[in-house]
């Protein structure tokens, strides 16, 4: 059974940095894409970034390009999201997710971690 557990959220001032981690377990993720999503109060969940487990190719939402970096450690089965130059509008619950390469739907989700950026 796939399990994704996020950590690293918290409160930070605007302009600061946070690093989120996602511990993945339950299967081999070699044929998976790992993603980060976020949901702010009153808003729909939105895509933030993704990384292909094998090869490491990445994709980012325009709103975070140049500020966020997604990475993975295949030896530790960890996915990270380094967030720099944080803005108040980055405040949200951040979720780690996983999907098989052959599908477009992220089928597996973590419980989420809160990120709050104060102005």
> What is the distance between the alpha carbons of residues 51 and 72, in angstroms, rounded to a whole number?
8
The pLDDT profile of the chain, 119 residues, written as one tens digit per residue, is 899 999 999 999 999 999 999 999 999 999 999 999 999 999 999 999 999 999 999 999 999 999 999 999 999 999 999 999 999 999 999 999 999 999 999 999 999 999 999 99
Decide: residue 22, CB within 10 A, 0-12 exposed, 13-18 middle, 19+ buried: buried
Neighbours of 30 (CB within 10 A): 11
Q: How far is CA 113 from CA 14, 16, 17, 28, 102, in A?
A: 18, 17, 15, 24, 28
């Amino acid at each position: 059974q796939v399990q994704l557990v996020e950590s690293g959220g918290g409160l930070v001032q605007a302009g600061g940095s946070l690093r989120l981690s996602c511990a993945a377990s339950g299967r081999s993720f070699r044929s998976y894409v790992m993603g980060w999503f976020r949901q702010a109060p009153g808003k729909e969940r939105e895509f933030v970034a993704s990384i292909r487990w094998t090869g490491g190719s990445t994709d980012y939402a325009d709103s975070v390009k140049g500020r966020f970096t997604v990475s993975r450690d295949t030896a530790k089965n960890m996915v990270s999201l380094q967030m720099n130059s944080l803005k108040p509008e980055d405040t949200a619950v951040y979720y780690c997710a996983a999907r098989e390469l052959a599908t477009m739907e992220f089928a597996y989700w973590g419980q989420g971690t809160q990120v709050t950026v104060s102005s």
